[in-house]
Amino acid sequence: MTWIKICGTTNLEDALTAVDAGADALGFVFYEKSPRKIDVETAREIVAKLPARVEKVGVFVGESADEWPRDVLNVGLTSVQQYFGFKARVQPKNAKAAGIDGFPVPPKIYVALPVARFLEEEEEFKGLADFAKWKKNLPKEFSLLEGLLDTIVLDSGDMRQPGGTGNTFDWNKAVPIAEGMRQGGVKLIVAGGLTPANVGDAIGVLKPWGVDVASGVEARPGKKDPEKVRAFVRAVRETDRKAC
């Protein structure tokens, strides 16, 4: 089944609605400029009331992994979604460089990248699409870290607004990227402008491992619409059933 993340959670009511609807993961945004930003104390209170089966994903923006380890430990997060800029090169050499050494249970790390960079620049596009070669060239010690850099989020945002833009990207143009990821054993999460009405189309075109939604299930920034949340999960599961 397609992995579903409901992002931009700011309150317990929305979190429990998403869990009840069948979401696999909830996202908590710690980016200062986001209208969905949550503070550490509130996030910790919400996470403490969530079932163990649900992933708790902290969303961070910036090129330095030093920004998030303390929040991960203080909140009880199980995963990190790190947004990198257009010029970033995701090439940590070991666990310490990635910021996960010292964790009792190392969090999963989802690398989030702005897809526009790869759809507009041919050479960058080719580099991202050739995931089989890319994965083989990872430093030995880095490749041994399970759950690290084996999943990439392609989003329609940029560094001014990394996520929650409400805009989709050209899924058809991104098909070679999705194919390259599958061949290289890298999982794709699609984000950006997804809604209950279009998520089935996105899954049909890109066949991703997961989908990530924020603005598409909101009543307003930072507040979820319960019916939209439930409709989104239903749409994904219905698409999964048709594909079986």
Exactly one of 14, 24, 150, 212 is catalytic; name it: 150
pLDDT of the residue at 100: 52
Q: How far apart are CA 76 and CA 104, in angstroms?
A: 11
Q: What is the mean pLDDT of residues 150-157?
A: 85
pLDDT of the residue at 101: 52
pLDDT of the residue at 211: 98
pLDDT of the residue at 106: 75
DSSP state of 88: -
Say if residue 90's pLDDT is above 60: no
Say if residue 190's pLDDT is above 90: yes
Model confidence at 134, pLDDT cuts 50, 70, 90, reads low
Q: What is the mean pLDDT of residues 66-88?
A: 78
Catalytic residue flag (residue 150) = yes
Residue 164 Rama label (left phi>0; alpha psi -120 to 50; beta): left
- Tens-digit pLDDT profile for residues 10-22: 999 999 999 999 9
116-120, 166-170, 183-187 — which is least confidently predicted?
Answer: 116-120
Question: Read out DSSP for 7-65?
Answer: ----SHHHHHHHHHHT-SEEEEE--TT-TTB--HHHHHHHHTTS-TTSEEEEEEESS-G
Quote the percentage of the chain above a pLDDT of 70.
Answer: 72
Kindly report the number of other CB atoms within 10 A of residue 96's CB atom. 12
Catalytic residue flag (residue 225) = no
Beta bridge partner(s), residue 79: 57, 108
Q: Which of 224, 169, 218, 161 is nearest to 192 (CA)?
A: 169
pTM of the entire predicted model:
0.86
Angstrom CA distances, 149 to 46, 135, 189, 220, 240, stand at 27, 9, 12, 32, 25
Q: Tell me the average pLDDT of the chain.
A: 83
Q: How far apart are CA 128 and CA 134, in angstroms?
A: 8
pLDDT of the residue at 216: 96
Q: What is the mean pLDDT of residues 40-48?
A: 97
Tokens of 172: 């058809």
Residue ranges and CATH numbers for the domains of the chain are 3-243 (3.20.20.70)
Exactly one of 7, 24, 71, 212 is catalytic; name it: 7
Stronger pLDDT, 75 or 114, i.e. the higher one: 75
